[in-house]
Amino acid sequence: MAQGNRPYASLEIIPPLTGISKEQLINDIRPFTEFNPRYINVTCHRDEIEYVQQEDGTFSRRLVRRRVSETAVCGAIQSELKVDVVPHIICGGASAHQIEFQLQDFKFMGISNVLALRGDCLAGEKRFTPAPGGFSHADELVRAIRDFEKRNGCEGFFRIGVGGYPEKHFEAPNIETDIDNLKKKVDAGADYIIAQMFFDNKVFYSFVDKCREAGISVPIIPGIKPISTFRHLQLLPESFSIDIPRELTDEILSFRDDREAIYRIGQEWATAQCKDLLAHGVPAIHFYTMGKSANVIGILKECF
């Protein structure tokens, strides 16, 4: 973005479940590299808690890691594909000291771009609970990263991205308050914003206008996720608190038993979104791949 040559595509992947080999991971990602993505975001997932019944009938609590660590995934992508990586750093499940160790690893690996997020609640939690000695909000995390740079003599090493919500974060009482919270993250030292997925570009343009009015001047990157299954009509609004336009909903409902048609409709809708966004001068488009490649590759062929 700083070079400002032309808009580019970036991708977000989810670390695979444990048990997959490095070769399998790389083979899954390799088709994207034909389009020279500027970077690949790698999500971070909290360890899960599992309760195991003992012989005496009591239960013991233990942590379970179901996915390969993002640090391992970042290392594999760097070494095998030579593509820049942007790991997520989340408040959830980590103390300030643990996050500092993570930053030390990223600096050692030459990873200078990160995405700082609060993270989701654990399953069963009604409200986000920080780890003991951890952070409650993403602006605190951004400030901690900048403090790490100062204390380690590497000021300006990290380029920090944060999340933005065109339809507001589900916990915010209104969009204006949510944008006030977003500005706190930028004021703490964030360099750019990646928007949550949306399916109506007018919502994104309105969000950008509100951000600019609030004094947020950093680049804002739209996030795109093509619908690929009928279940997405329920799962995406439920999981991400977003709206799916009536026109798109009705079209998918009319083909509810035709999986190929729904896949095509979702790809065509996202392609139209991207062409319109590029025409409006966005600096980049970020794709939430959810581990799927065919539809995103189809969009990249048409738009980049």
**63 confidence band (pLDDT: 50, 70, 90):** low
Of 261 and 35, which is predicted with more confidence? 261
**111 confidence band (pLDDT: 50, 70, 90):** very high
Assess whether pLDDT exceeds 80 at residue 52: no
The pTM of the full predicted model, rounded to 2 decimals, is 0.91
How far apart CA 43 and CA 115 sit, in angstroms, is 9
Average pLDDT over residues 205-212: 98
Query: What are 143-154's pLDDT values in tens digits?
Result: 999 999 999 999
Residue 233 lies in a domain: yes
Assess whether pLDDT exceeds 90 at residue 130: no
Total domain count, the chain? 1
pLDDT of 216: 98
Averaged confidence pLDDT in the chain: 92
Average pLDDT over residues 246-256: 96
Residue 161 lies in a domain: yes
Of 252, 261, 254, residue with least CA distance to 230 = 252
Assess whether pLDDT exceeds 70 at residue 49: no
Residue 3 lies in a domain: no
Residue 1 lies in a domain: no
Of 32 and 59, which is predicted with more confidence? 32
**155 confidence band (pLDDT: 50, 70, 90):** very high
Q: Which residues are catalytic?
A: 12
Residue 258 lies in a domain: yes
pLDDT of 47: 67
CATH number of the CATH domain containing 153: 3.20.20.220
Assess whether pLDDT exceeds 70 at residue 123: no
Residue 4 lies in a domain: no
Assess whether pLDDT exceeds 90 at residue 20: no
Residue 2 lies in a domain: no
Domain that holds residue 182: 9-303
Assess whether pLDDT exceeds 80 at residue 64: no
Residue 264 lies in a domain: yes
How far apart CA 41 and CA 291 sit, in angstroms, is 12
